[in-house]
Amino acid sequence: MSAAVCNVSMVIFYFLAFVLSLVWTHAEYIKEHPGRNSPTAPTGPHFLTPATQRNVSTTLGQTAYLHCRVAQLGEKQQVSWIRKKDLHVLSSGMLLFASDLRFQVRGASRASIHGPEYVKAGSTINLTCVINQPHMQGLVHWYHNGNILDYEGPVSIATRGDHMSTVSHLTIKEATPKHSGNYTCWPTSAHWDSILINVVVEGEQPAAMQTGVGVAPSAGILTPILLPLLLHALSNALVDPLALR
């Protein structure tokens, strides 16, 4: 009788573990695919979150860039810019309707950062930001953990452009753990990109390995493992009571 009770307990344990693995799998799917299977998810063109900048500041005489990010835009759909004070349509798609030549409209350009995620302490951090915009107008700013980088000390920045793209190089000599963190390449006329850099001291594990990031067992792997165990425990729970009769 005690064996049957034990088997029933095992069935309950494996059943709860199986249910939790299914819940975990669903949560991970929602995290990786936000908005899917959600009754409130937009199905047509919509502005991406966070919303486009509502207040843009620039130096007198310099160029101001206004960015608009729209998702799920169809082939025959276009983005229009309208001046609020007089509802004048400035542009539709790539067509410009403003007589003032200072207005220009451009398609989306994007930055892409290339470089190693792990760097040994004492070595040099080399990051390259490629912007798919030839002879880009405006500046390219580099940020470390949200703070703009200056051309001081071990930090050097070199930006050049040609007929194909614009490339900005960030170099930090004799890197130390304080140089770990998030690096962002932010062109004033294109979408930004970022990368996480870890400066590793010899003999120490990277932070991502210490915290277990990327090494946790996948819920998709746990589910097929738990299911056979659940069925095995269930079969034992059904067989043992019959054997005791």
pLDDT tens-digit profile of 29-52?
555 544 444 445 567 787 765 555
The residue that leads in pLDDT, 57 or 20, is 57
Q: For the whole model, what pTM was predicted?
A: 0.48
Which pLDDT score, from 0 to 100, does residue 179 have? Answer: 95
Q: What is the mean pLDDT of residues 160-177?
A: 90
What is residue 123's predicted lDDT score, i.e. its pLDDT? 95
Q: Are 49 and 27 in contact (CB under 8 A)?
A: no
Q: Distance between CA 201 and CA 68 in Å, rounded?
A: 42
- State yes or no: pLDDT of 144 exceeds 80: yes
* 26/14 Cα distance (integer angstroms): 18
92-132 pLDDT tens trace:
887 888 888 888 887 777 899 999 999 999 999 999 999 98
Per residue, what are the HEC states of 27-82?
HHHHHHCCCCCCCCCCCCCEECCCCCCCCCCCCCCCCCCCCCCEECCCCCCCCEEE
- Tokens found for residue 242: 């019959």
pLDDT at 211: 43
* Ranges 148-152, 169-173, 240-244: which has the least confidence: 240-244
pLDDT greater than 50 at residue 212: no
Split at pLDDT 50, 70, 90, the class of 224 is low
Give the rounded percent of residues in the chain with a pLDDT score beyond 70.
Answer: 62
Nearest to 231 by CA among 24, 11, 83: 11
Q: Which residues pair with 129 in a beta bridge?
A: 113, 168
- pLDDT confidence of residue 94: 78
- Amino acid found at 76: K
Q: What's the rounded mean pLDDT across residues 215-221?
A: 45
Structure tokens at 178: 């304080």
pLDDT for the residue 82:
92
User: Which ranges of the chain does DSSP label H, i.e. alpha helix?
Assistant: 2-32, 207-210, 219-244
